[in-house]
């Protein structure tokens, strides 16, 4: 296994309660593989750390910008700018700042992330650090250049999460996280690593999933990130509605430009 020529840093944000879980095995596989590739790897084990998912005034150690009316997004931005974040958030911000690659490892709960990971998004992806509306969002988000990948497990099978399955297309399920959270902050969003139904799979299949994850990480630098409609295709003067010229350009294309901006067209067959 060849090492990277330049030292890279990876952060794994891990959200599972059980050290013997398959999610833990996926996390350990990522740590081992990336370390062999020459990465410096940091793990935020949210449950082990006792990470608080609640966004409260305890997140700030200094005076509030408006002590009479708590507006959390304004206050956490103010705290970031004035170096008055509490130690828990400050530590996560610093780990994220250093990382070139961020892996979110979690079991899917109710078609989304566990509450503890949602709290990490809420408290760590701070205005002024991760994004700045309206100029530094999506293509120009402040975390531009960092790669992010969701590595998740499901209870249901791969067929259940297909466009004909009862759970629907997994790409649609993950769109709010991929686009509304990660791409909003500027991340280069990689295709997800979905380990379907490990809890109902034989040991040989579970080993295959771990091997596939390791092999994918070895070749991740050669992968292109997901493609989204460019920010320039939306008119900020009209509250970011898609420009007519972009719609006209797509008129003869039978395939949707993205999962969310589908324009009533069929999604690409590419995963």
First to last CA, the chain: 27
Phi, psi at residue 158, to the nearest 5°? -60, -40
- Give the strand pairing for 193-196 and 241-242: unpaired
Domain limits of the chain? Answer: 8-226, 229-271
Judge whether residue 269 has pLDDT over 90.
no
Mean pLDDT of 193-217: 97
* CATH of region 8-226, choose from 3.10.620.30, 3.40.50.360, 3.40.50.1360, 3.40.50.10490: 3.40.50.360
Answer whether 166's CB lies under 8 Å from 160's CB.
yes
- Predicted TM-score (pTM) of this structure: 0.95
Give dist(CA 33, CA 35) in Å, integer. 5
pLDDT tens digits along 175-197? 999 999 999 999 999 999 999 99
pLDDT tens digits along 135-168? 999 999 999 999 999 999 999 999 999 999 999 9
52 to 78, 95, 150: CA distances (angstroms): 20, 17, 21
Judge whether residue 249 has pLDDT over 60.
yes
pLDDT tens digits along 225-245? 999 999 999 999 999 999 999
| Chain mean position to CA 183 | 8
Phi, psi at residue 229, to the nearest 5°? -65, 135
Nearest to 266 by CA among 172, 166, 184: 172
pLDDT tens digits along 16-49? 999 999 999 999 999 999 999 999 999 999 999 9
Give dist(CA 250, CA 221) in Å, integer. 30
Give dist(CA 108, CA 50) in Å, integer. 20
198 to 50, 171, 210: CA distances (angstroms): 26, 19, 10
């Amino acid at each position: 296994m060849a090492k990277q020529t330049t030292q890279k840093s990876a952060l794994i944000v891990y959200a599972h309660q059980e050290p013997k879980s398959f999610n833990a095995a996926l996390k350990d596989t990522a740590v081992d593989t990336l370390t062999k590739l020459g990465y410096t790897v940091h793990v935020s084990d949210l449950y082990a750390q006792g990470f608080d998912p609640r966004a409260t005034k305890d997140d700030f150690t200094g005076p509030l910008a408006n002590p009479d009316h708590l507006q959390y997004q304004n206050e956490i931005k103010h705290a970031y700018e004035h170096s008055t974040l509490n130690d828990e958030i400050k530590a996560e911000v610093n780990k994220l700042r250093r990382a070139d690659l961020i892996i979110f490892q979690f079991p899917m709960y109710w078609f989304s992330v566990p509450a503890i990971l949602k709290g990490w998004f809420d408290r760590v992806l701070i205005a002024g650090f991760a994004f700045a509306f309206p100029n530094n969002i999506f293509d120009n988000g402040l975390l531009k250049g960092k790669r992010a990948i969701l590595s998740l497990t499901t209870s249901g099978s791969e067929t259940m999460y297909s466009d004909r399955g009862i759970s629907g297309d997994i790409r649609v399920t993950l769109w709010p996280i991929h686009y509304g959270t990660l791409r909003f902050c500027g991340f280069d969003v990689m295709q997800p690593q979905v380990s379907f139904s490990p809890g109902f799979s034989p040991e040989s299949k579970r080993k295959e999933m771990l091997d596939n994850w390791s092999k994918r990480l070895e070749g991740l630098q050669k992968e292109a990130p997901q493609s989204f409609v460019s920010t320039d295709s939306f008119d900020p003067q009209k509250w970011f509605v898609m420009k007519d010229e972009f719609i006209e350009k797509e008129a003869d294309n039978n395939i949707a430009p993205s999962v969310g901006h589908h324009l009533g067209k069929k999604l690409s067959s590419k995963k």
